[in-house]
């Protein structure tokens, strides 16, 4: 047997090596590459350091010293060289490159110099393998997933069909668990819309009914509020509250604060050194330069404040910033990372333990959010007339005021509630969040609410208000782009980003949430005061096939 024909490595090498050609050493090429790599990063660091100093001293960036001009020229020269780094071997004969090797399974059939690689039958190109898998029977693919030869998470990329991947994964789960998924629908959902952003390894979707309450008359506008829930009586109760507000002239709201937060934790060798960074961050003279660095993360990010808390040699830094119409967690996290990188040069001994140190505080009941606020801080109020309280709410002003004091205020205080001085704000917040594509886990702090009731106009009418310091909502990003959730946002007139005033749509959504909570609080408290709670739940929260009984 011909040894060349039986050895693909030898064959590939000889294919590019004419006889009697002297090979050039590859060592100078590597040395050249190393020199240009070092030159590029060293001059880049030098220029960044110089430009940072200019920003701090308010020196125009276009005023260049001879050393800076030389550095820029060196940067350009090294950049153009490195642009062709991976193709630099083209200036030599292919035989002068590194020793050829057998291609791996995750490479295509073209090498860096554009030459065709010689594959053995065991090393099929990726495209060929992918084509074979796509043309395979679904049952064969399911068996491969069950056996572990094909990872479940890779089905979308291998098949190029998100819906088919979900169906195959679903069948594989049933086989592995020996449990039926009958009742969990897989048809009728756009799985491509969640790829890489909302949910990994989908096997179907859960159906949550969406009802509407309203019209909610808020700040002179009428809103039909979508609510996704499985709790009977919730939509009906909120709808009754909306009616009481409407016939009384409507509610009004104001956003008193709008800032998302992120708080990394950093550590030093001593508490004294940690305190030095705390003083630096809280010095007003340093805020402008830190803002410039932070705001580079997005054209909507605007750093508002920095507060820090020290625990021994650990420092917790709470950044607050505006985020436009996005809820903004990713935006503020990128800004924080920019600042941490910036601080590293002046505080090289700073050890970043985590981008979040729970002083933010996200998806947890925390006093810092109750006091300082997070997201949108909203206050919503309305005056409900005496005749409306009697005819629509079936109770009295005196009964509501007394119940609110003993239940929402005193009772919550005895329970040691944190931000829970309300009847059921979480119910309304969760329902609207699910309907509009918000992060449902942020219901924890978003439901912080204190409900106040007071007799006004000589005790005839009742003034009711809800103060919610941490309503975390967005109208772009996350689940807001899904078809159903996008439709609900469109129903409210807050879909997408505001073209006229960035952040206006998300702030409006926050006020709608607060207005709906106001309606829900008013109706539930009235039901409790009138002794109607149990009766209402027996009527609306129990399964019944007789529609006439429900209507009556």
Query: Between residues 486 and 62, which one has the greater pLDDT?
Result: 486
Band (pLDDT 50/70/90 cuts) for residue 11 is: very low
**What are φ and ψ of residue 458, in 5° steps?**
60, 30
| Range in 146-150, 260-264, 539-543 the model is least confident about | 539-543
Q: Provide the token pair at 505.
A: 């749509």
Cβ contact 163:204 at 8 Å: no
Q: Which CATH architecture has domain 211-258+376-541?
A: Alpha-Beta Complex (3.90)
Residue 506 · residue 326 · CB < 8 Å: yes
Per-residue pLDDT band for 8 (boundaries 50, 70, 90) equals: very low
Q: Which residues pair with 383 in a beta bridge?
A: 463
State the chain's mean pLDDT as an integer: 86
- Report the pLDDT averaged over residues 12-20: 43
Do 192 and 162 contact (CB within 8 A), yes or no?
Answer: yes
DSSP lists the bridge partners of residue 261 as 320
Q: How far apart are CA 94 and CA 82, in angstroms?
A: 19
pLDDT at 31: 74
Query: What was the pLDDT predicted at 443?
Result: 97
Distances from the Cα of 35 to the Cαs of 26, 29, 42, 77, 82, in angstroms?
Answer: 15, 10, 11, 12, 11
What are the C-alpha distances in Å from 177 to residues 143, 173, 180? 14, 6, 8
CB 113 within 8 A of CB 89: yes
Sign for the CA dihedral angle at 496, 476, 158, 105 comes to positive
CATH number 3.40.30.10 given to 264-354: no
The reported pLDDT for the residue numbered 204 is 97
Using the predicted structure, report yes or no on whether residue 4 has a pLDDT greater than 60.
Answer: no
SS3 content of the chain, % helix, strand, coil (to 5): 50, 15, 35
Q: Which residue from 72, 130, 76, 140 is spatially nearest to 106, judged by alpha carbons?
A: 130
Q: Which residue has the higher pLDDT, 20 or 512?
A: 512
Res 14 pLDDT > 60: no
In sequence order, which residues have a C-beta less than 8 Å from that of residue 395 and are 6 or more positions away?
Answer: 389, 526, 529, 530
pLDDT band for 55, please (50, 70, 90 cuts): confident
Q: What angle do CA 269, 275, 281 make, to 5 degrees?
A: 120
Tell which wins on pLDDT, 110 or 199. 199
Mean predicted confidence (pLDDT) in 249-271: 98
pLDDT of res. 440: 96
Does pLDDT of 483 surpass 80?
Answer: yes
Could you say which DSSP state residue 110 is in?
B
**H or E element, residue 232:** none
Tokens of 96: 């002068």
pLDDT band per the 50, 70, 90 thresholds, residue 124: low
Q: What is the largest CA-CA distance in the chain?
A: 111
Task: State the pLDDT at residue 541.
Answer: 64
Active site residues: 231, 363, 439, 537
d(Cα 78, Cα 41) in Å, to the nearest integer?
9
Interval 184-240: pLDDT, tens: 999 999 999 999 889 999 999 999 999 999 999 999 999 999 999 999 999 999 999
Domain residue ranges of the chain, discontinuous segments joined by +: 154-207, 211-258+376-541, 264-354
DSSP state of 92: S
Q: How far is CA 458 from CA 28, 171, 455, in A?
A: 94, 67, 7
Report the pLDDT value the prediction gives residue 45, as an integer from 0 to 100: 85
Please say if the pLDDT value at position 334 is more than 70. yes
pLDDT of 428-465, one tens digit each?
Answer: 999 999 999 999 999 999 999 999 999 999 999 999 99
Rounded Cα gap, residues 519 and 517, in angstroms: 5
Q: Is the pLDDT of residue 2 over 60?
A: no
């Amino acid at each position: 047997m011909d040894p060349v024909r039986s050895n693909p490595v030898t064959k590939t090498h000889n294919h590019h090596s004419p006889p009697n050609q002297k090979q050039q050493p590859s060592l100078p090429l590597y040395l050249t590459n190393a020199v240009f790599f070092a030159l590029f990063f060293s001059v880049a660091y030098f220029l960044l350091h110089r430009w940072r100093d200019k920003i701090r001293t308010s020196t125009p960036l276009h005023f260049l010293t001879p050393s800076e001009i030389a550095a820029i020229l060196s940067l350009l020269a090294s950049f153009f060289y490195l642009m062709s780094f991976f193709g630099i071997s083209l200036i030599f004969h292919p035989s002068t490159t590194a020793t050829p090797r057998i291609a791996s399974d995750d490479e295509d059939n073209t090498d860096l110099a554009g030459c065709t690689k010689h594959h053995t039958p065991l090393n099929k190109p990726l495209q060929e393998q992918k084509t074979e898998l796509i043309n395979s029977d679904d049952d064969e693919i399911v068996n491969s997933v069950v056996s572990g030869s094909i990872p479940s998470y890779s089905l979308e990329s291998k098949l190029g069909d998100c819906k088919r991947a979900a169906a195959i994964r679903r069948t594989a789960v049933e086989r592995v668990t020996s449990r039926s998924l009958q009742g969990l629908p897989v048809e009728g959902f756009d799985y491509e819309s969640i790829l890489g952003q909302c949910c990994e390894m989908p096997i179907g979707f859960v159906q949550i009914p969406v009802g509407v309450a309203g019209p909610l008359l808020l700040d002179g506008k009428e809103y039909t509020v979508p609510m996704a829930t499985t709790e009977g009586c919730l939509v009906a109760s909120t709808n009754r509250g909306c009616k009481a507000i409407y016939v009384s002239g409507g509610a009004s709201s104001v956003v008193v604060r709008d800032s998302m937060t992120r708080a990394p934790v950093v550590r030093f060798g001593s508490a004294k050194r940690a305190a030095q960074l705390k003083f630096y961050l809280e010095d007003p003279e340093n805020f402008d330069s830190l803002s410039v660095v932070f705001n580079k993360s997005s054209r909507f990010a605007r750093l508002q404040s920095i507060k820090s808390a020290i625990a021994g040699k650990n420092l917790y830094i709470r950044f607050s910033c505006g985020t436009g119409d996005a809820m903004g967690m990713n935006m503020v996290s990128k800004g924080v990372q920019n600042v941490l990188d910036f601080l590293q040069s002046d505080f090289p001994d700073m050890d970043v333990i985590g981008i979040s140190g729970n002083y933010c505080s996200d998806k947890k009941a925390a006093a810092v959010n109750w006091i300082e606020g997070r997201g949108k801080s909203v206050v919503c109020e309305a005056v409900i007339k005496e005749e409306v309280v009697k005819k629509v709410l079936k109770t009295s002003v005196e009964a509501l005021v007394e119940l609110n004091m003993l239940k929402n205020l005193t009772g919550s205080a005895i329970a040691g509630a944190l931000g829970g001085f309300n009847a059921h704000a979480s119910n309304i917040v969760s329902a609207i969040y699910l309907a509009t594509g918000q992060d449902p886990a942020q219901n924890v702090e978003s439901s912080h609410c204190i409900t106040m009731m007071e007799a006004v106009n000589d005790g005839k009418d009742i003034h009711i208000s809800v103060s919610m310091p941490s309503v975390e909502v967005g109208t772009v990003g996350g689940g807001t782009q899904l078809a159903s959730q996008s439709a609900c946002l469109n129903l409210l007139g807050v879909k997408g980003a505001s073209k006229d005033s960035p952040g206006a749509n998300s702030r409006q959504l926050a006020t709608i949430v607060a207005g709906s909570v106001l309606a829900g609080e008013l109706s539930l408290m009235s039901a409790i005061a009138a002794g109607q709670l149990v009766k209402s739940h027996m009527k609306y929260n129990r399964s019944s096939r007789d529609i006439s009984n429900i209507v009556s």
